[in-house]
């Protein structure tokens, strides 16, 4: 965009030396955005706003939290009972974690449906996968801090995953713990890292935005911007749309904060950690359930590789496989609107993820209606999860016949009687 | 010798010497960086006071046959069980071919009636049930891990479920007939 002429002398003076106003104008005001973005495109900015809320509430919690096994649980209860508005700040932070994952998961499925991972946005997508990984690490360590029963046993189970590594597994776990069990050194380092990682995420989000603004947003038609008439300026059109979406998002978020603050939590986490008693049923937070189901689905050795190691590999692979997706999907068409077969497999994949989440929430030896083993359902769902990426998507790229693409965004949108 | 060595050689010699200096400097720099990072990495390993945790002595005289107690050693639960004759017989009669992690019963005990082992499931570190009389004990009458469903027998050996190994037997010795020291 052409350089903006600033009138205010102070802004002019600053902008000449540090063109920060020009940058904001370029990326948030003039920024040309496809004119046909639907509401699924709100979730990127919603995730960003939630990240800011998490950092802010987190800093205020840190002013009262004590990272010591003897005081952590009590300090959280003190925040809840004695600190002014402590309950509000903590519930915003607790439920904010769930809302953050909700926004990000919708954002990821949006990307999958409309082919936002395809050239030239592969790196943008990959940075996003790393943001997701960093979020999971942050959420897991944050969950440990209140030092309740679920905190302690989640930390034990997740750190023990690394004991599956051949030869050095035990040494790695001891290194992670700083002792022989999850204990005070573990809590201290988790607190330090839980404080650090959100800033790493902010850095990654910066790269994500940078890469986004090079080739601009994808859109529901999945075709490139071809002329200025395909775009509208970000402000006021999408600032307004994002604010409207934010209003609805905040309504849902604050409903949980005020009316069902422990909806996503586990009652066991209001029992102080006890290293000698494991709760009868350990479950992670909802946003990690599908991966947990994949971990538990592997109950068989393959050749000389023990089941435990394969389970751990499968769990990490279920996320890392997203990195390869831009190259697994050879179809030149981005949007599922023009991919009749992909669209069906996509929705099946979406349901598959929900099934994995449901299996993950249940005990390992549970039965459906007393007949069908949930383990088997989890195994089939895991099979479909990987088959989707490794078999279905690559084959569709070759065999699917996409519908004809519109000539341009403006032609499709501005034509009277044009489809959505 | 010294005079010639310090004099710059022909042009290509000087070039290869420059390459050598560059590679040598980078190598020293890389090794130096690695050495500087190591204290940071190693600082996360168990500290001296954690390593120095005392061993634990346990008085067995109060434990009746068929009873178990849990003692804490290095922050972990240690199961001490006074096994019944039937349990010992079941453990000794099991053929090694039936075991996931084959180990005869006598390799897991110092005296058959006393079974001492770390009560941490070898799958992902939960504490198996089976210490209390009314706990679930699993399909083999020993211990059962509620997290992911591992079944252990009366010698603490893994029989069914995702755990790869038997419950670990710590180093311990009998100080007298009724006192053991773990660690």
Chain A positions in Cβ-Cβ contact with residue B44 (cut-off 8 Å): 175-176, 178, 185, 189
Residue B174: CATH number of its domain: 2.102.10.10
Look at the block and give the residue holding tokens 């279920």. Answer: A318
Look at the block and give the residue holding tokens 């999907």. Answer: A329
Q: How far is CA A407 from the centre of its chain?
A: 34
**B6 falls within a domain:** no
Q: Is residue B59 located within the same domain as residue B32?
A: no
Q: Is residue B150 located within the same domain as residue B72?
A: yes
* Strand B179-182 to B172-174 pairing: antiparallel
**B35 falls within a domain:** yes
The CATH number of A39-218+234-282 is which of 1.20.810.10, 3.40.640.10, 1.10.10.2520, 3.20.20.70? 1.20.810.10
The candidate with the shortest Cα–Cα distance to A59, out of A174, A196, A158, is A196
**B64 falls within a domain:** yes
**B143 falls within a domain:** yes
**B118 falls within a domain:** yes
Q: Is residue B18 located within the same domain as residue B108?
A: no
Chain B positions in Cβ-Cβ contact with residue A299 (cut-off 8 Å): 162
**B20 falls within a domain:** yes
DSSP helix/strand/coil, A242: helix
The partner residues of A233 in beta bridges, in order of sequence, read A32
Q: Is residue B62 located within the same domain as residue B116?
A: yes
The secondary element (H helix, E strand) that includes residue A115 is none
**pLDDT tens sequence for chain B (183 residues):** 444 444 555 555 667 888 999 999 999 999 999 998 998 899 899 888 888 776 888 999 989 998 999 998 888 899 999 999 999 999 999 889 889 899 999 899 999 999 999 999 988 888 999 998 888 888 898 999 888 888 999 999 999 888 889 999 999 999 998 899 998
Q: Is residue B90 located within the same domain as residue B156?
A: yes
Between CA A193 and CA A274 the distance in angstroms is 23
Domain hosting B22: range is 13-45
Taking the alpha carbons at both ends of chain A, their separation in whole angstroms is: 30
**B87 falls within a domain:** yes
Q: Is residue B64 located within the same domain as residue B41?
A: no
Assess contact for A61 and A79: CB atoms under 8 A: yes
Assess contact for B75 and A275: CB atoms under 8 A: yes
Between CA A171 and CA A249 the distance in angstroms is 44
For chain B, the domain total comes to 2
Domain layout of chain A by residue ranges:
39-218+234-282, 286-401
The secondary element (H helix, E strand) that includes residue A414 is helix A409-414
Q: Is residue B19 located within the same domain as residue B85?
A: no
**B135 falls within a domain:** yes
Between CA A368 and CA B75 the distance in angstroms is 38
Between CA A188 and CA A71 the distance in angstroms is 12
Q: Which residues contact A206 (CB under 8 A, 6 or more apart)?
A: none
Q: Is residue B27 located within the same domain as residue B105?
A: no
Q: Do A174 and B124 count as a contact with CB atoms less than 8 A apart?
A: no
Considering only CB atoms, A156 lies closest to which of B45, B46, B125, namely B125
The two three-digit tokens of residue A394, written as one number? 């690559």
Chain B positions in Cβ-Cβ contact with residue A177 (cut-off 8 Å): 46
Q: Do A175 and B45 count as a contact with CB atoms less than 8 A apart?
A: yes
Q: What share of chain B is helix, strand, coil (3-state, %, to 5)?
A: 30, 20, 50
| ipTM confidence score | 0.71
Considering only CB atoms, A306 lies closest to which of B44, B147, B164, namely B164
The partner residues of A33 in beta bridges, in order of sequence, read A232
Note if A27 is an active site residue: no
Between CA A47 and CA A45 the distance in angstroms is 5
Cβ atoms within 10 Å of A172's Cβ, excluding its own: 15
Q: Which residues contact B175 (CB under 8 A, 6 or more apart)?
A: B57, B181
- Cα A74–A75–A78 angle (5° rounding)? 85
Q: Is residue B121 located within the same domain as residue B147?
A: yes
The two three-digit tokens of residue A131, written as one number? 């943001």
Q: Which of these is catalytic: A12, A213, A226, A415?
A: A213
Q: Is residue B25 located within the same domain as residue B85?
A: no
Q: Is residue B83 located within the same domain as residue B162?
A: yes
The partner residues of A232 in beta bridges, in order of sequence, read A33
**pLDDT tens sequence for chain A (420 residues):** 456 889 999 999 999 999 999 999 999 999 999 999 999 999 999 999 999 999 999 999 999 999 999 999 999 999 999 999 999 999 999 999 999 999 999 999 999 999 999 999 999 999 999 999 999 999 999 999 999 999 999 999 899 989 888 889 989 999 999 998 999 999 999 999 999 999 999 999 999 999 999 999 999 999 999 999 999 999 999 999 999 999 999 999 999 999 999 999 999 999 999 988 888 788 899 999 999 999 989 888 888 888 889 999 999 999 999 999 999 999 999 999 999 999 999 999 999 999 999 999 988 777 887 788 899 999 999 999 999 999 999 999 999 999 999 999 999 888 765 544
């Amino acid at each position: 965009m052409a350089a903006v002429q600033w009138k205010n002398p102070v802004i002019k003076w600053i902008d000449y030396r540090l063109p920060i106003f020009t940058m904001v104008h370029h990326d948030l005001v003039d920024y040309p955005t496809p004119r046909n973005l639907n509401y699924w495109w709100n979730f990127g900015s919603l995730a960003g706003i939630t990240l800011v809320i998490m950092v802010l509430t987190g800093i205020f919690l840190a002013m009262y939290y004590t990272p010591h096994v003897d005081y952590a649980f009590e300090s959280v209860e003190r925040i809840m009972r004695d600190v002014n508005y402590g309950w509000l700040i903590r519930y915003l932070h607790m439920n904010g974690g769930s809302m953050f994952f909700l926004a990000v998961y919708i954002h990821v499925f949006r990307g999958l449906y409309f082919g936002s991972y395809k050239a030239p946005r592969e790196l943008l997508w990959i940075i996003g996968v790393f943001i997701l990984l960093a979020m999971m690490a942050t959420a897991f360590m944050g969950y440990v801090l209140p030092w309740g029963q679920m905190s302690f046993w989640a930390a034990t189970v997740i750190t023990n995953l690394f004991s599956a590594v051949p030869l050095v597994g035990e040494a790695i776990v001891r290194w992670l713990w700083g002792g022989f069990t999850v204990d005070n050194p573990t809590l201290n380092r988790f607190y330090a890292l839980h404080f650090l990682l959100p800033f790493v995420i902010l850095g990654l989000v910066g790269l994500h935005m940078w890469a986004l603004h090079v080739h601009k947003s994808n859109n529901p038609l999945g075709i490139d911007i071809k002329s200025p008439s395909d775009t509208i300026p970000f402000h006021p059109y999408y600032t307004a749309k994002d604010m409207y979406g934010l209003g609805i998002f905040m309504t849902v978020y604050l409903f949980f904060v005020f009316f069902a603050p422990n909806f996503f939590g586990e009652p066991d986490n209001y029992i102080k950690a006890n290293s000698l008693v494991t709760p009868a049923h350990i479950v992670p937070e909802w946003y990690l359930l599908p991966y947990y189901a994949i971990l538990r689905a592997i109950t068989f050795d393959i050749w000389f590789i023990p089941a435990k190691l394969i389970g751990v590999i499968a769990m990490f692979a279920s996320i890392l496989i997203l990195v390869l997706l831009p190259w697994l999907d050879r179809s030149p068409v981005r949007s599922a609107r023009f991919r009749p077969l992909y669209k069906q497999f996509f929705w099946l994949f979406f349901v598959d993820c929900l099934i994995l989440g449901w299996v993950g929430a249940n005990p390992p030896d549970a039965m459906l209606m007393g007949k069908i083993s949930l383990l088997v359902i989890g195994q089939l769902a895991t099979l479909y999860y990987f088959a989707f990426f490794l078999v279905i998507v690559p084959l569709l790229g070759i065999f699917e016949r996409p519908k004809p693409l519109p000539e341009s965004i403006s032609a499709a949108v501005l034509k009277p009687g044009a489809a959505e | 010798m010294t005079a010639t060595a310090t004099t710059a050689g022909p042009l290509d010699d000087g070039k290869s010497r420059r390459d050598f200096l560059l590679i040598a400097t980078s190598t020293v720099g890389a090794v130096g960086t690695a050495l500087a990072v190591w204290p940071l990495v190693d600082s996360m390993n168990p500290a001296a006071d954690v390593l120095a945790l005392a061993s634990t002595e346990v008085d067995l005289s109060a434990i009746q046959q068929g009873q178990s107690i849990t003692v804490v050693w290095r922050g972990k639960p240690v199961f001490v069980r006074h096994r019944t004759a039937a349990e010992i017989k079941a453990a000794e009669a099991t053929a090694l071919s039936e075991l996931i992690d084959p180990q005869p019963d006598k390799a897991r005990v110092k005296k058959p009636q006393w079974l001492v082992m770390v009560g941490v499931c070898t799958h992902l570190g939960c504490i198996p049930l089976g210490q209390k009389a009314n706990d679930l004990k699993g399909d083999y009458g020993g211990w059962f891990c509620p997290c992911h469903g591992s079944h252990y027998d009366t010698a603490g050996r893994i029989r069914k479920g995702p755990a790869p190994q038997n419950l670990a037997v710590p180093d311990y010795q009998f100080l007298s007939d009724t006192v053991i020291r773990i660690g």
